[in-house]
Structure 1
Amino acid sequence: MEQLKNINGYALMIFSLVYEHKSFSIVARLQHVAPSTISRVISQLEQSLNCQLFHRNTRAVIATEHAEMLIDYARNISQNLTDIFDQIGEQRCEIQGRVRLNAPVLFGQLHIVPWLAELNARFPKLVFELILTDEFIDPFKSSTDIIFGMNHLPDSNFHARVFHQVQYYLLASPQYLKQHATINSPVDLIDHQCLVYQGVYGPNKWYFKTNEQLTATAISATLTSNNAAALTTAAKQGMGLVLFPDWLVYEEIQAGTLIPLLSEYQGTIYTEPQFISVIYPHTKKMPTKVRTVIDFFIEKFGCPAYWQCD
């Protein structure tokens, strides 16, 4: 059929990327081509389909109703082609291709980036695209291959491998503990200097378990910040107390620069247990490159995870 001549795997991949990023220039940078190349591919695809896929102006690229109809088919075809190439590469005894990873910003900086050089040395044919963001990434709507999630257990519709249940620690520096009154229970925190992380929904609440029930505890915030590393530094310098996850402060606990407090009260900032897991899309056969990267991080994180403090 004449209208199918410009509908190929590459065109559908470019369409999917433009749909996701809502920008020709971003996709051009990702593909190492000129924006005009991306525009031409989309225009040819629109011509073949005899419909407009995107409204374009100088400020935005907006998907049309036809694009919404096409996107799931395009993603499935692109994924099937990727799977085929992976299987062919596997038969050649080579693990190769692009692996797209997503992780929360600070977790990625501390526990993903430090391992990438070794991963690259072990599998030099792999190419990586790492996106660090604290925004929610939907595996069904993203082109990401692997998502490192940090939340309650993922929806059963997702494939997921749980690495670790997050433990939170109330911490203070030795200097702070020498200069301030003893903390015997969560009710004492109102009289202490607390350093509180503030996300998009406002300052974190601090919960502690009393009589097997989590209760929000009143605290006095000396400092709030949207940067956990800054709060950790302030705590080490004796400015106040923090309530942070083990993966963030395990080195400070091991070094003795921050001292755990009230461990019997099991402090947390969530009312539900939190888990670190890797989430990946449903496919009939997991691509070899994806399985290889997941297995690598399973090996490196360990069981129990190397940041576990107990």
Structure 2
Amino acid sequence: MRLPDFEAWAMFAAVVEHRSFTDAARALSVSKATVSKAVTRLEQHLDTSLFSRTSRRLALTESGRRLADHAARILAEGAAAEEAARDETAVLAGTVRLGAPMTFGLIRVAPLLAQFMRDYPLVNVDLHLSDAHIDIIDMGLDATLRIADMPDSSLRARRLADVQIHIVAAPAYLATRGRPSHPSDLGAHDCLCYANAATPDTWKLNGPGEQHVAVQVRPRLLTNSGDAMLPALIGGLGIAMLPDFIIGAGLASGELEEILPEWRPPPLGVHLVTPPSRLRPARVDALLDFLARHHGC
């Protein structure tokens, strides 16, 4: 039985992560020629090309895309196994790459990271903030926080908390346009809609007596950022459906009012999502455990 060429798989994964043979070689502290030979050796063994190479561009082939996740897991599990074998009393050090939604990351995650880095002075955090649905394998992230209903996937997801969603408007808008008394009234109003939702112009709500409705709304503003809605929302230009961490301050100050309080979208979960492997460096586990302990921040 011929053993897999683990070194070649790991170097292939590094090239995918860094999108460059040169940068992969630098990260692995080897020569570019060593990386290139390892990838070529793997291609010859698999009898397929993994990259399309030109003088200006490096792109995965279809075979390369199919095998990239396997390679990333091999590299990650090898690194995690080595770290797990070290003395458990060793000082945690190195970099953790973490993703988070933009506003939630700024308001809830960034303050926690400051505390975490004080507790673990040798651990660095590479924080990637984006409201887009990102591929944590492709991005090379150790973990990401997602606010969503998680579909079945090969990723591992741990639900940390619920996020409540509210339907809100400014008093000035309600004074001018009237206050909806039932979700069916929303279709006649200007609405501010979140573009990254599965159906931005259809609001699904649960109400008294286990009622469920889906309301078609008219987007006056469509954006992929909840924060970007706030000026128009507070300025009285429409009704929005937003999570409490975005509109909490506006509700507390009176700049915004909750409407249809007996009707709510299903709560979304804050999930801590990691790649499929259970093996992780200790520094990653330390950050994940820290975030889980403080999920009510």
TM > 0.5 fold call: yes
- Is residue 104 of structure 1 aligned with residue 97 of structure 2? no
CA distance in 2, matches of 1:47, 1:29: 15
Please state how far the C-alpha of 1:82 moved relative to its aligned partner. 1.7
The partner residue of 1:74 within 58, 71, 75 is: 71
Counterpart contact for 2:192–2:233, Cα < 8 Å: yes
- Is residue 189 of structure 1 aligned with residue 186 of structure 2? yes
> Number of aligned pairs?
289
With over 3 angstroms needed to count, the CA separation of the structure-2 counterparts of 1:160 and 1:297, relative to structure 1, is same
The partner residue of 1:42 within 35, 40, 43 is: 35
Please state how far the C-alpha of 1:29 moved relative to its aligned partner. 9.1
With over 3 angstroms needed to count, the CA separation of the structure-2 counterparts of 1:171 and 1:30, relative to structure 1, is farther
Q: For the aligned residues, what is the CA RMSD? A: 3.5
With over 3 angstroms needed to count, the CA separation of the structure-2 counterparts of 1:264 and 1:73, relative to structure 1, is closer
Q: Identify unmatched segments of 5+ residues in structure 2.
A: none
Secondary structure of the 2:144 match is: strand
CA distance in 1, matches of 2:95, 2:191: 44
CA distance in 1, matches of 2:230, 2:26: 38
Q: For residue 214 of structure 1, what is the aligned residue in structure 2?
A: 212
Q: For residue 301 of structure 1, what is the aligned residue in structure 2?
A: 295
With over 3 angstroms needed to count, the CA separation of the structure-2 counterparts of 1:263 and 1:141, relative to structure 1, is same
Counterpart contact for 1:175–1:238, Cα < 8 Å: yes
CA distance in 1, matches of 2:65, 2:221: 45
TM-score (norm 1): 0.76
With over 3 angstroms needed to count, the CA separation of the structure-2 counterparts of 1:40 and 1:129, relative to structure 1, is farther
Secondary structure of the 2:284 match is: helix
Please state how far the C-alpha of 1:66 moved relative to its aligned partner. 6.6
Secondary structure of the 2:227 match is: helix
TM-score (norm 2): 0.79
Q: For residue 155 of structure 1, what is the aligned residue in structure 2?
A: 152
Counterpart contact for 1:99–1:290, Cα < 8 Å: yes
Q: For residue 246 of structure 1, what is the aligned residue in structure 2?
A: 244
Alignment of 1:163-202 (within 5 A): 163-199=160-196
Secondary structure of the 2:212 match is: strand
Identity of aligned residues (%): 27
Counterpart contact for 1:198–1:225, Cα < 8 Å: yes
Secondary structure of the 1:182 match is: coil
Please state how far the C-alpha of 1:64 moved relative to its aligned partner. 4.3
Counterpart contact for 1:14–1:38, Cα < 8 Å: no
Q: For residue 15 of structure 1, what is the aligned residue in structure 2?
A: 12
CA distance in 2, matches of 1:111, 1:30: 36
Q: For residue 28 of structure 1, what is the aligned residue in structure 2?
A: 23
Q: Deviations over 1:178-237 (max 9, x none)?
A: 333232222332343322223487743222335523222243433333332121221112
Amino acid at match of 1:42: V
CA distance in 2, matches of 1:189, 1:214: 15
Q: Identify unmatched segments of 5+ residues in structure 1.
A: none
